Amino acid sequence: MKIPLTYTLKSLWTRKLTTTLTIGGISMVVFVFAAVLMLAYGVEKTLIETGSDENVIVIRKAAQAELQSQIDRDAANIIKTLPELAATPDGKPFAANELFVLINIFKKGSGDMGNVTVRGITSESMLLRPQIKILEGKMFTAGTSEIIVGSSIAKRFQGCTIGERLKFGGNYWTIVGVFDGNGTGFDSEIWGDVEQMLPAFGRPVFSSLTFRLKNQSDFDALKTKIESDRRLNYLEIQHEKEYYAEQSRLMAIFIRVIGTVVSIIFSFGATIGAMITMYAAVANRTVEIGTLRSLGFRRRNILAAFLIESVLIASLGAAIGLFTASFLQLFVISTVNFGTFSELAFGFTLSLAVIKYTAIFALGIGFIGGFLPAVRAARLNIVNALRAS
């Protein structure tokens, strides 16, 4: 027969101090582990959502990102004439030639400099990214040295508010608007007219070409067409969503690996704490264990009862750790994007996957920490246990 769950709960309440300390230790480890997963997921979410399922991006083969890519104007114009491309409402190719460069700007507060992405765009760029909204000011005027800045740039860097002027590319650029990238990587960019920025940076070529297809099913055929055209076969096309997913992969893996190693190191302490707590419980309840065995409870019932007790302690620690970690979503941090070497602002993001893996991690601590004490309790001799009184 099974030992009632109320017995286990009563035992936890009886040892309030040791139980509380163990729960606290586990909750701190869970907090660190959850924070790491939330950080990695936040990077992935920010970058992946930067891309659209409907858009296709063209960059140079072997280029890891737009920063290393070059597309000459003739190639861009050839691609725009391909019949697979959709058209804008005014009949133009639904495609945007873009420039991607990095500049250095001083950060607010610290005085340190950070790499910031400057993107030269066209009017079609805004149509391709309908999630972009102007928060303050206005859109820049084509053919001028006006620029707009992402909301994250306006908050974190000096001289990036409306009306101020930034000097880069051998020219002064006037900020006329702040835009919201809807939580994507675009929030960490500065945008201006690509035809003004090309000569300013001494660039005769574009960095990328982004366009939309008439039918998504035409992607493979278009890819084959471009690869077989001698004028275009130095280029490769990708779904924009996949491109940004690749940009996030290396960075997310790095965060997960470093964070998981740290969490595992901390988990040893939490596991030992749970083990000590459960060994103390066995020592204090030797007579109870002997009594349960004499009443007919089998060794496996004793083993299960103590394992359940340890897992319950870990579950409480997991709940507290996750609850505390959830408040990290209120914060936005920035770091260098490994793919582009530019500043990227992103937030901690809690997801069902984060909750699942954190719960498994915490329950693992509880199971490992409680297993040996549970085995000890199950193996106690009935007579010796009753004599312990």
What are the angstrom distances between the C-alpha of 7 and each of 23, 281, 365, 378? 19, 13, 22, 16
Select from 162, 135, 127, 131 the least CA-distant residue to 147.
162
Angle between helices 299-326 and 5-14 (to 10 degrees): 60
Report phi then psi at 8, rounded to 5: -65, -45
Clarify whether residues 218 and 361 are in a common domain. no
| 92, 79 Cβ separation under 8 angstroms | no
Element (H, E) at 378: helix 352-378
Question: Quick check: is 377 in a domain?
Answer: yes
Question: Quick check: is 57 in a domain?
Answer: no
Range of the domain at 217: 62-233
What are the angstrom distances between the C-alpha of 354 and each of 41, 358, 382? 8, 6, 44
Positive or negative torsion for Cα 137, 138, 143, 149: positive
Clarify whether residues 43 and 72 are in a common domain. no
Alpha helices for 15-122 (secondary structure H): 16-48, 73-80
Question: Quick check: is 137 in a domain?
Answer: yes
Report phi then psi at 136, rounded to 5: -135, 150
Distance linking the first and last C-alpha atoms of the chain: 25
pLDDT in tens for each of the 389 residues of the chain?
566 556 566 666 666 777 787 888 888 889 989 998 898 888 888 887 888 888 999 999 988 889 899 999 999 999 999 999 999 888 889 999 999 999 999 988 777 888 899 999 999 999 999 999 999 999 999 999 999 999 999 999 998 999 999 999 888 999 999 999 988 889 999 999 999 999 999 999 999 999 999 998 999 999 999 989 999 989 999 999 988 888 877 777 878 888 778 888 878 877 887 777 777 766 666 666 666 666 666 777 777 777 888 888 889 899 999 999 999 988 877 776 666 667 777 788 899 999 999 999 998 888 888 888 777 777 766 656 556 55
Question: Quick check: is 205 in a domain?
Answer: yes
Counted domains in the chain:
2
Clarify whether residues 168 and 146 are in a common domain. yes
Determine how β-strand 189-193 pairs with β-strand 113-121.
parallel
**Per-residue pLDDT at 261:** 83
Question: Quick check: is 240 in a domain?
Answer: no
pTM, two decimal places: 0.79
Clarify whether residues 227 and 94 are in a common domain. yes
Select from 181, 179, 199 the least CA-distant residue to 99.
199
Clarify whether residues 262 and 383 are in a common domain. yes
Clarify whether residues 24 and 106 are in a common domain. no
Clarify whether residues 29 and 67 are in a common domain. no
Determine the residue type at 45.
Answer: K
Clarify whether residues 68 and 38 are in a common domain. no
57/223 Cα distance (integer angstroms): 11
**Per-residue pLDDT at 268:** 81
Tens digit of pLDDT for each residue in 295-312? 666 777 777 777 888 888
Question: Quick check: is 55 in a domain?
Answer: no
- Strand, coil or helix: 245: helix
- Strand, coil or helix: 47: helix
Select from 325, 371, 253 the least CA-distant residue to 29.
325
40/264 Cα distance (integer angstroms): 17
Clarify whether residues 70 and 152 are in a common domain. yes
Clarify whether residues 68 and 43 are in a common domain. no
Clarify whether residues 301 and 357 are in a common domain. yes
**Per-residue pLDDT at 91:** 86
Determine how β-strand 171-180 pairs with β-strand 146-150.
parallel
**């974190």: which residue's tokens?**
156
Burial of residue 61 (CB within 10 Å: 0-12, 13-18, 19+) is exposed
95/128 Cα distance (integer angstroms): 8
Clarify whether residues 87 and 221 are in a common domain. yes
In total, the chain counts a number of residues equal to 389
Determine how β-strand 189-193 pairs with β-strand 146-150.
antiparallel
CA dihedral angle for residue 30, residue 33, residue 34, residue 40, rounded to 10 degrees: 180
